[in-house]
Amino acid sequence: MEFNHYSVLLHETVDNLNIKPDGIYVDGTLGGGGHSFEIASHLTTGHLYGFDQDTDALAAAGERLSCYGDKVTRIHSNYEFMKERLAELGVTKVDGIMLDLGVSSFQLDEADRGFTYRVEDAPLDMRMDKDNPMTAADIVNTYSAEDLTRVLYTYGEEKFSKQIVRNIIKEREKAPILTAGQLNKIIAESIPKKAQVGQGHPSKRTYQALRIELNRELTVLENHIDDMIELLNPGGRLCIITFHSLEDRITKVAFKRNEDPCTCPKNFPVCVCGKVSQGKVITRKPILPSEEELEANSRSKSAKLRVFEKAK
């Protein structure tokens, strides 16, 4: 099984990690191992820990990184457990961490994984971790109208969420909605034809929303940026590649809060809250893919890289 994944903003990310040959680094979203391969190539006595909840990704990355031998440790886990899993291995501080929050090309292109809306008979699965007992079909068929609307509106920024949900509820009362084809038909009939012009595939936002909800993507990101910054050695860096405005906003706000955590009223002459800056934001504006990269990989067009450096 080939796990194809173009490593977005590869050199920009690796350059911003400021890799030391004897340092300890973490790839929180190992995927096919593209970024990790490049990081490991800079290490001599250092070590790289790669996290992924997808067993297919871990297996593919294992093959790709095999040339680095015991310089690399793969860990089957969501990066939300990074602190605990590293502590079990005796690691309490690291020199750099990266996250690539995109869905891999393999996951998108492998119809059985159910991330794609382009294959009519693809199951509504979307699990990053195949051990997860819940699938996207469970969300579509069991969530209340209110919860489904919240998911589509909040995570998909879908303006027609109410209409789509109304029709989902109507259809699932007749028979369970289990395939991409069934869901695509409902979505296409729920969005006015005029609103579909020039907007790409009408199912795109709904699928994004279901995937984020099922895999708790934004919750995990929001709850663990502070933990990752805490893990860094002085001068260590956290690099996060986001692919939509919701992830980017969470990252930007968390980085800013860690740089300037003071909660004192603006008119106070001195800080009395005692909250200390954790470091500085390196990217005032996010780093975007180059023209060459956009030409080589259209999926990189929404990628943004933000970098935070721990106080020295």
The superfamily CATH assigns to domain 10-106+217-310 is: Vaccinia Virus protein VP39 (3.40.50.150)
Return phi, psi of residue 106, to 5°. Answer: -60, -45
pLDDT value, residue 107: 67
Per-residue pLDDT tens over the stretch 121-164: 899 999 999 899 999 999 999 999 999 999 999 999 999 999 99
pLDDT value, residue 282: 98
What is the average pLDDT score of the chain? 93
User: Residues of 61-88 as b/e, b for ≥16 C-beta within 10 angstroms?
Assistant: beebbeebeebbbbbebbbbbbeebbee
Half-sphere exposure of 278 (CA within 13 A, CB side): 21
pLDDT at 67 > cutoff 90: yes
How far are the Cα atoms of 15, 84, 299 from residue 200, in angstroms, in the given order?
A: 34, 41, 13
Mean pLDDT of 270-283: 94
pLDDT value, residue 1: 42
List the structure tokens of 159.
């303006």
Per-residue pLDDT tens over the stretch 209-240: 999 999 999 999 999 999 999 999 999 999 99
3-state SS, one letter per residue, for the chain: CCCCCCCCCHHHHHHHCCCCCCCEEEECCCCCCHHHHHHHCCCCCCEEEEEECCHHHHHHHHHHCHHHHHHEEEEECCHHHHHHHHHHCCCCCEEEEEEECCCCHHHHHCHHHCCCCCCCCCECCCCCCCCCCCCHHHHHHHCCHHHHHHHHHHHHCCCCHHHHHHHHHHHHHHCCCCEHHHHHHHHHHHCCHHHHCCCCCCCHHHHHHHHHHHHCHHHHHHHHHHHHHHHEEEEEEEEEEECCHHHHHHHHHHHHHHHCCCCCCCCCCCCCCCCCCCEEECCCCCECCCHHHHHHCHHHCCCEEEEEEECC
Long-range contacts of residues 283-287, Cβ cutoff 8 Å, at least 24 apart = 283/307, 286/242, 286/248, 286/252, 287/9, 287/12, 287/16
Delimit the domains of the chain by residue range. 10-106+217-310, 110-215
Whether the CB-CB separation of 49 and 71 falls below 8 Å is answered with no
Of the ranges 73-77, 115-119, 135-139, which one carries the lowest mean pLDDT score? Answer: 115-119
Q: Do domains 10-106+217-310 and 110-215 have the same CATH topology?
A: no
Of the ranges 159-163, 243-247, 259-263, 298-302, which one carries the lowest mean pLDDT score? Answer: 298-302
C-alpha–C-alpha distance, residues 15 and 114, integer Å? 34
pLDDT value, residue 106: 63
Of the ranges 94-98, 112-116, 247-251, which one carries the lowest mean pLDDT score? Answer: 112-116
Pick the CATH number of 110-215 from 3.30.479.30, 2.30.30.830, 3.40.50.1240, 1.10.150.170: 1.10.150.170
Per-residue pLDDT tens over the stretch 288-309: 999 999 999 888 899 999 999 9
C-alpha–C-alpha distance, residues 287 and 303, integer Å? 9
* Whole-prediction pTM: 0.92
Confidence of residue 191 (pLDDT cuts 50, 70, 90): very high
pLDDT at 29 > cutoff 80: yes
